[in-house]
Amino acid sequence: MNLEFIGQTLVTLLAGIPITLELAALAIAGGALLGFAIALMRLSQHPFLYVSAWLYVQIIRSTPLLVLLFLIYYGLGQFSALRSSFLWPVLKQAYWCAVIALVINGSAFAAEIFRGGLLSVGRKEVEAARACGMSGILLYRRIVFPLAIRQALPAYSNEMVAMVKATSLASLVTLMDVTGIAASIASSTYQPIPVFVAAGAIYLLINTLLTRAVRALEYRLTPHLRPAQYATASAVTEAGVTPT
Amino acid sequence: MDLARTFELVGFGPDGWGAILLAGTATTLAAAFCGLLLSFVLGALGASAKVAGGPAARAAAETYTTILRGVPELLVIFLFYFGSSSVLGAIAALFQYQGFIALPGFLAGVLAIGVVEGAVMVEVLRGAFLAVKPGEIEAAKACGMNTFLRFRRIIAPLTLRHALPGIGNVWIGLLKGSSLLSATGVAELMRQTQVAAGSTRLPFDFYVAAGAIYIVITVSSGVVFQLAERHYSRGVARP
Amino acid sequence: MTTAVRLQNIHKRFGALEVLRGITLEAQEGEVLSLLGSSGSGKSTLLRCINMLEIPNDGDVWVAGEAVKFRAGRQGQSRTVDTAQIDRLRSRIGMVFQSFNLWPHLTILENVIEAPIHVLKRPRSECIQEARDLLERVGIGDKAQYYPAHLSGGQQQRAAIARALAMHPNLMLFDEPTSALDPELVGGVLRVIRSLAEEGRTMLVVTHEMAFARDVSSRVIFLHKGEVEADGPPEDVFTNSSSPHFQQFLGREARTE
């Protein structure tokens, strides 16, 4: 194993980082949005809404992401109606298939986390807000969501790491992300160990930075959970005054 | 998608792929189960290092969990599968052997998913051990139980009871993770589904069927774990 | 009379905090000692030094005439030398904890027979028979098949006393046995402890129950800031103690009772 080879490998792998990061960002953002909608459905009073949301979450969480990905990438092409529809230019691309699979997969896990966060908001806080005359969207926007997000953030940070790792499956539908490039270098150079270790180091770095960033955000958002001398007043007023 | 046709295809009739999918399912379960055993051993070692180990053992366990929880499972599978071939190839070359040799895909895959989920198991078992109340261990000391007896009769049973839900999650993770072994050619459920999808040109039907089989497995193992939990947590307050 | 426990110049530190500052104490067989003191006075720590749940930093401990072997470590934390000896001594010392500490995965009966079977290696059937008698005696004979979580605090504590008695201990240690109980459950547990005292068992009881200390114990020890401030028969200590701290302590306890 020589250092020069590892250096070259790392440089080649760097080319895969943008696509890995794009997939991860789209999956996290899309998963969060869809997951949030599903969490609200889960918590609604309407039986059809919460039963279908519950079923969705159970089905997606019990199915391997690879099945979902192949179902979308290989399976949808089976329908000629779909192949001739306006959707096909998008659905025939591995990239968008990977994004859709990652978003669907992520949304089921995100939904459960958001649901937990929303359920954690105490009756007392809500009552206090109602006593101030807040209701409906205002109540949710100013009191419930801010509290729920703070509660859900640590668990969601794990979910984001899981999504970054999950993007590696895109390599199995021909995308040249970090894993895809690593697999191709490994098979052409017959030096799999340094290649996969280098690729692993890249993911580890991305996930470490991501975890750090979320932890910093969490710290900023929760001065009320720290001992008084560490909680800066500026953070409190900022969170309280800035319209969100 | 024609349901009657789908059922015929995944069934056990003359044109059915049922037997092949069933064999794949058995391989999936076997891989996940072997992975569970390995992850439990690694988890127990890592958790005891984190709870009671010296600085070196703690640092090693910490490094293990940090790395394996930050790296994609697929990469670890590739590393074990292709990496083993390069190591074994180098060893074989010493004996003047030139052909391609590798760990069997099943073995390399089980090692990989076991090592990955072992990192999760470390935290499951550590958390479960910490949920055992110190007073319950002290009471065992006060009765004159020695370290081994204390572990066997009090600490291990209580830790396992607290760990059951987490072990259930690891098991689900192993089941789903084993689908990635298809990428190294292991003839588990996902791989057999790919073969069937390719030769019938009906990928949608078969991937839906595969998804359904995974759901049946996870839901029924969920039921088993819940029953076990109810059975073993009689009297044990949830932490 | 023979000496059941002897403590000589016991010191115990937790970090910079010195909890016990040179305690010397003896209990004869058949004596019932009540250890009194405000919280933080070191009385629970002293009790736990007898069966080595805490290891003293300095001093000597004898149990049933046998010197317990331990030594002070370098960084202040001390360690036992002979774990087999400690385990053997502990099997002869019954301990009842403030928070009961029953094993939650075992039924009440299984809790009581656990150590006799596995530590003393006695036959199972004999242990079960005896456990049933003990549970009957502490008034929860009908709860043998229940799990601890299904019992009230008072019942759990009585089960814990039965568990300790099942080891046929030469010495019983009670660490605030009624402090975690609701007031209406205290009486039942105290009645059981009192009946054990009347059998002539050797007992050390850390307690806040002044009436119990006065009526049941043969000697009362008052600890203040890790030192023995008063030691004598209850009538002497309660009526004639010259210690101003003890008078203050009595005043506080009277208010809270």
Complex prediction ipTM: 0.90
Inspect the interface and report whether the beta carbons of B234 and C147 lie closer than 8 Å. yes
Does B225 reside within a domain? yes
Which of A13-27, A146-160, C123-137, C237-251 has the weakest average pLDDT? C237-251
pLDDT for A2? 75
> Reduced to 3 states, what is the DSSP secondary structure of residue C62?
strand
Give contacts of B 177-206 with C, CB under 8 A. Answer: none
CA distance B142 to chain C (A): 5
Q: How long is chain B?
A: 239
- B/C interface, count of CB pairs below 8 Å: 81
| Alpha carbon distance C239, C246 (integer Å) | 11
Element (H, E) at C220: strand C219-224
Confirm if A102 and A65 have CB atoms less than 8 A apart: yes
pLDDT for A145? 87
Inspect the interface and report whether the beta carbons of A196 and B215 lie closer than 8 Å. no
Does B239 reside within a domain? no
CATH of the domain at B166: 1.10.3720.10
CB proximity B231 to C under 8 Å: no
Does B237 reside within a domain? no
**Which residue out of C48, C99, C100, C103 would a mutagenesis test of the B interface target, given it has the greatest number of B Cβ atoms within 10 Å?**
C103
Displacement of CA B190 from its chain's centroid (Å): 16
Inspect the interface and report whether the beta carbons of B205 and A78 lie closer than 8 Å. yes
CA distance A5 to chain B (A): 16
For chain C, what percentages of helix, strand and coil (3-state, to nearest 5) are there? 40, 25, 35
Kindly list the structural domains of chain A, giving each domain's residue range(s) and its CATH number in brackets, ordered by start.
3-237 (1.10.3720.10)
CA distance B11 to chain A (A): 19
* pLDDT single digits (tens) C199-218: 999 999 999 888 889 989 99
CATH code of C30-46+83-256, in short, is: 3.40.50.300
Residue B88: C-alpha distances to residues A170, B94, B105, C1 (Å): 29, 10, 14, 76
pLDDT for B1? 57
CA distance C84 to chain B (A): 8
- Sign of CA pseudo-dihedral A87, A91, A93, A97: positive
Strands (E), A111-244: none
Chain B residue with Cα closest to C115:
B143
| Residues of chain B found within 8 Å of residue C97, distances taken between Cβ atoms | 135, 138-139, 142
| Alpha carbon distance C158, C151 (integer Å) | 10
| Alpha carbon distance B160, B58 (integer Å) | 21
- A/B interface, count of CB pairs below 8 Å: 124
| Alpha carbon distance B106, B184 (integer Å) | 9
pLDDT one digit per residue (tens) for chain B, 239 residues: 577 777 777 777 777 788 899 999 999 999 999 999 999 999 999 999 999 989 999 999 999 999 999 999 999 999 999 998 888 888 888 887 777 677 788 999 999 999 999 999 999 999 999 999 999 999 999 999 999 999 999 999 999 999 999 999 999 999 999 999 999 999 999 999 999 999 888 899 999 999 999 999 999 999 999 999 888 877 654 43
* pLDDT single digits (tens) A62-113: 999 999 999 999 999 888 888 888 888 888 899 999 999 999 999 999 999 9
Positions in chain A short of pLDDT 70 = 1, 229-244
* pLDDT single digits (tens) C33-81: 999 998 888 999 999 999 999 989 888 999 988 888 887 665 556 677 7
Q: How long is chain C?
A: 257
Q: By percentage, how much of chain C surpasses pLDDT 70?
A: 95
Does B93 reside within a domain? yes
pTM: predicted TM-score of the whole model, two decimal places: 0.87
Does B235 reside within a domain? no
- Sign of CA pseudo-dihedral B189, B191, B193, B195: negative
Q: Look-up: residue for tokens 């939650």?
A: C104
pLDDT for B139? 95
What's the structural domain count of chain B? 1
Does B39 reside within a domain? yes
Does B161 reside within a domain? yes
Domain limits of chain C?
Answer: 30-46+83-256
Of B138, B153, B232, the CB nearest to C118: B153
Inspect the interface and report whether the beta carbons of B143 and C167 lie closer than 8 Å. yes
pLDDT for A3? 81
pLDDT for B86? 81
Mean pLDDT of C98-115: 94
Q: What mean pLDDT is reported for chain C?
A: 90
Give helix A192-221 / helix A145-166 axis angle, nearest 10°: 180
What range defines the domain where residue B43 resides? 3-230
Confirm if C141 and C199 have CB atoms less than 8 A apart: no
